[in-house]
Amino acid sequence: MNALSLARWQFAITTVYHFIFVPITIGSGFLVAGFQTAWYRTNKDKYLRATKFFGKLFLINFAIGVVTGIVQEFQFGMNWSAYSRFVGDIFGAPLAMEGLLAFFLESTFLGLWIFGWDRLPKKLHLASIWLAATGTLLSAYFILAANSFMQHPTGYILNATRGRAELTNIVTVLTQKTALSAFFHVIPSAFLASGALFAGVGAWLMLKEKDVEVARPAMKMGAITIIISFLLVVVSGDFSARVMTQQQPMKMAAAEGLYDSKASAPFSLLTIGSLDGSHAVFQIGIPSLLSVMSTGKTDGVVEGVNDLEKQYDKQYGNDSYTPVIWLAYWSFRLMIGFGGLALLLAGYMLWRMRKGGLPKSKWFNRAAITMPFLPLIGISFGWIFTESARQPWIVFGLFKTKDAVSPTVGAGSVAFTMIVFTLLYGVLAVIEFGLMAKTIKMGPQPAVEGSDANDGKQLTMAY
């Protein structure tokens, strides 16, 4: 493999790995804050136990999200220096804003929350977790705005002399509909994943009869979060699909395995392409659904891969503008499928919990343990889809991935760093998973409420 393919693999590995932890961080921060608010308002011990228990899970997860985020920030300069030069004038701004506005907020107030149980007044301590959670939300917003420039560049001009894109309107970059639709798609999906974690863990506690007082609100909060989030994910997903069809028709065509332009295009349930990827051999679909998704009309015309390829050859010069179709096609479906599975489980759970009931079936409670993984898998496929189906572009229509890699970094260096990072990520994942599992197995612990309990002689929280 050459430096380019290695750098692409490294980016994919780091980013997908990082984003396993991110959704749980974003959603769980708010859900833990919810439990703590319930405790603050009602003073019921079960909510304090829930806050501490889910707080522990949140922090074990957060640690890896933070440290892999550092690599995210620097890998553009390390492996993608040509890209950094080309877009730095635009792309760097949201990254710097993310640092100043989001990272400081998140890290400082999380530190205050973790260690502040006996140092801060209750209200201020509660405010800390809300501020830390808000930090994660802001962080997501800025990085999605930066990513959206890669999907749909806007608010810039090309400077031919310096060979780069230059910012002309920061407001456009931060508020274009690509960024907003991505934000309203990614954030609910993060809540979906966190809701699934809470519901799944709650179900497990129920199965083991660990702390039913905590298990019940956890399941309920989790299941409700999943259902609301899923609705928002569907609405914003639908909007995103339309934005994507306008801005990156090739991506939509690839997602659907639609080789030739069609009016009243069906939504494919199964398409098998020919070996060279130029046409469909076999297809089952729902009539006209794709046209509705992409254009809002049942008889709307959706452009196909082959027609777009011809059009791009003329527009941008002869090259291949077709992404890997099977990857786009399947990752798009797996994204939707895994999210949907989590919804089904949540729906059933909530149905059985109505009127004070409980989902008693052991079979269901076992299945529910898989819940936390389902949305995370779905989200990973979502990113694999949206990034891979933009190829060959790194910035759509402006800059190709093959031109973006660092010219001075050899394949050996990229291979070496990729192997070390991957091994390190693997080891950390095993440790992280072990700690999460152990924490869940121990279940919520009797709560010690800070200084009242020991006259301030002992620290409630120490490393």
Partner 1 sequence: MSLNSFWFTLIVVLWVGYFILEGFDFGVGILLKVVAKNQAERRAVLTTLGPVWDGNEVWLLVAGGATFAAFPEWYATLFSGFYLPLFLILVSLIVRGVSFEYRSKYGKAQWRNRWDNAIVISSFLPALLWGVAFANIIEGVPLKKTPAGIIEYAGGFFNLLNPYALLGGATTLLLFISHGAFFLALKTEGEIRNRANSIGQKAGLATAVAALAFFGWTAASVNHRGWVLLGAAVAVVFWLAALGANFKGREGYAFLFSALTTGFTVITLFATLYPNVMPSSLLSDASLNIFNASSTHYTLKVMTYVAVVLTPIVLIYQGWTYWVFRKRVNPNQIASADSGILDTVQ
Map the footprint of partner 1 across residues 60-119, applying CB under 8 A. 60, 63-64, 66-71, 73-74, 76-79, 81-82, 84-85, 87-93, 95-101, 103-104, 107-112, 114-116, 119
Under the criterion CB under 8 A, does residue 342 sit at the interface with partner 1?
no
Give the interface segment with partner 1, choosing from 184-192, 201-209, 255-263, 454-462 (CB under 8 A): 454-462
User: Closer CB to partner 1, residue 292 or residue 440?
Assistant: 440
DSSP β-ladder status, 267-273 and 280-286: antiparallel
- In the complex with partner 1, which residue's Cβ is closer, 80 or 385? 80
Q: What minimum distance in Å lies between the beta carbon of 168 and partner 1?
A: 7
- Least distance CB 59 / partner 1 (angstroms): 7
Would you tell me how many other CB atoms lie within 10 Å of the CB of residue 290? Answer: 25
d(CA 380, CA 366): 24
Residue 16 is a binding residue for partner 1 (CB under 8 A): no
- Interface with partner 1 includes 430 (CB under 8 A)? no
103-112's contacts with Cβ under 8 Å and 24+ in sequence apart are: 103/135, 103/139, 104/135, 105/131, 105/132, 105/134, 105/135, 105/138, 106/132, 106/135, 106/136, 106/139, 107/66, 107/135, 109/135, 110/62, 110/135
Cβ proximity to partner 1: between 64 and 343 the closer is: 64
Q: What is the DSSP string of 95-118?
A: HHHIIIIIIHHHHHHHHHHHH-TT
Q: Is 221 an interacting residue with respect to partner 1 (CB under 8 A)?
A: no
DSSP codes of every residue in 258-293: --S-EESPPEEEEEEE-TTSSSEEEEEEETTHHHHH
Touching partner 1, residues 267-286 (CB under 8 A): none
Q: Which stretch binds partner 1 (CB under 8 A): 208-216, 261-269, 275-283, 424-432?
A: 424-432
CB of 253 to partner 1, least distance (A): 34
* Residue 400 C-beta: closest distance to partner 1, Å: 16
Nearer to partner 1, 13 or 101 (CB): 101
Site for partner 1 in 350-409 (CB under 8 A): 406-409
120 lies in the site for partner 1, by CB under 8 A: yes
**CA–CA dist 319, 391 (Å, integer):** 12
CA separation for the pair 56, 41 (Å, rounded): 21
* All residues at 6 or more sequence positions from 360 whose CB lies less than 8 Å from its CB, including other chains: 352
Kindly identify the residues of this chain, within the stretch 138-167, that bind partner 1 according to CB under 8 A: 163-164, 166-167
| Beta carbon nearer to partner 1, 163 or 287 | 163
How many residues at the interface with partner 1, by CB under 8 A?
77
Residue 107: C-alpha distances to residues 65, 135, 260 (Å): 12, 8, 50
Which residue, 98 or 211, is less far from partner 1 as judged by CB? 98
Most distant CA pair in the chain, distance? 77
Q: How far is the CB of 399 from partner 1 (least distance, A)?
A: 14
* 232 vs 459, beta carbon nearer partner 1: 459
Interaction with partner 1 in 27-66: which residues (CB under 8 A)?
Answer: 56, 59-60, 63-64, 66
